[in-house]
Structure 1
Amino acid sequence: MDSTEETIRALAARVARLEDLEEIRRLYVDYGRHLDAGDAAAYASLFARDAKLRLGPVMRADGREEIERAASKVIGSTAEGASRSVHLLGSPSVELGDDGTATGECVWSAISRHEDGTPGVLVGRHVDRLVKEEGRWRIARRVGLVDVGALR
């Protein structure tokens, strides 16, 4: 193989890696967006078919269908159509494996309004195992950890 072919293969591998990282970054963004929109089906579509979701006492589910059912009970909007919460996700750290898997962690904050109108703020981390399924990156396992704040 000549050096031009080697260079092209190396560039192709680098581009594929960047595309994977961008898709995972988008997955993290869409996670918060779908939660805040109250779209349980779109939210569940971010997970692998046999995913495991462990968000403390808020949501615990196995498999995409169960995740959608659990999410529909927790997320949604107020009677006026406003979102019940706003999720901010940031500082993602992702390590790609060589086998269509990855690990990741991101910081999250959730700002919500309690029934009495007072604001609630939680800050924590999601620790993830990701998998490429049907050509798309999905969350295979997500554990949500609360670092600051308390659930009511």
Structure 2
Amino acid sequence: MNQQESQKSVAAEVTRLAEEKAIERLLFNYAFHLDMNQTEELTALFLEDCEVIYGPGFGAEGRDAYAKTLEGVGSFFKATSHHVSNIVIDLKSPDEAHVRSVVYAWHRYNRDMPDSHLWGQYHDIIVRKDGKWRFKRRELRTTGEKDFHVKKTLPIGRA
């Protein structure tokens, strides 16, 4: 490999790393805005034609429908804490990535319910539009839960 090819290779690697960091930031912003009950900011992280699946029969198609699922989040939860890790990003094209991450979520309710815990995975399709990475599809798969308010969840598919 000559010096010019090497420089192009390094530049391509730096670009890839920058895109991955931007995608990670999207995942972290989702958790932050959800935990802060900032539903407008949270909704803005999704494309207009998004699909959100939190469990069988629980989710939304389209950003407006997703925003409706967030109504009342502040009165339902006293506090939440979402922790995202083990992020794997597969760039499928310059403008699309398939992402898998692990989530632990703690929920404190405004009702007389015990705190709940959820362990699982997010499986996402993330698309760049107008220079910004946004969720096209977000699916939650559950490894385990304790006192979680969503009674039907999708399994992770463990063999």
RMSD: 2.2
Q: How many residues align?
A: 147
Partner of 1:95: 90
Q: % of aligned pairs identical?
A: 27
- My pick for the range that moved more, 2-11 or 21-30, is 2-11
C-alpha change, 1:83 and 1:32, in structure 2 (3 Å) is farther
SS at match of 1:93: strand
Unpaired runs of 5+ in structure 2? 150-159
TM-score (ref. length: structure 1): 0.85
* Alignment-derived partner of residue 16 in structure 1: 15
Query: Which residue, out of 91, 110, 123, partners 2:105?
Result: 110
Which residue of the partner structure matches residue 38 of structure 1? 37
Give the equivalent residue in structure 2 for 1:86: 81
SS at match of 1:151: coil
Deviations 1:55-114, CA, capped at 9 Å, x for gaps: 1168511222222222233x2267xxx952111111111111134111111111111124
Contact 1:38/1:72, CA 8 A, preserved across alignment: no
Partner amino acid for 1:112?
H
CA contact (8 A) 1:111 1:120 kept: yes
Q: Which ranges in structure 1 are unaligned for 5 or more consecutive residues?
A: none
2:140 pairs, out of 131, 140, 144, with 144
Q: CA deviation at 1:40?
A: 0.9
Contact 1:37 1:83 survives alignment (8 Å): no
Partner-residue secondary structure (3-state), 2:53: strand
With normalisation by structure 2, the TM-score equals 0.82
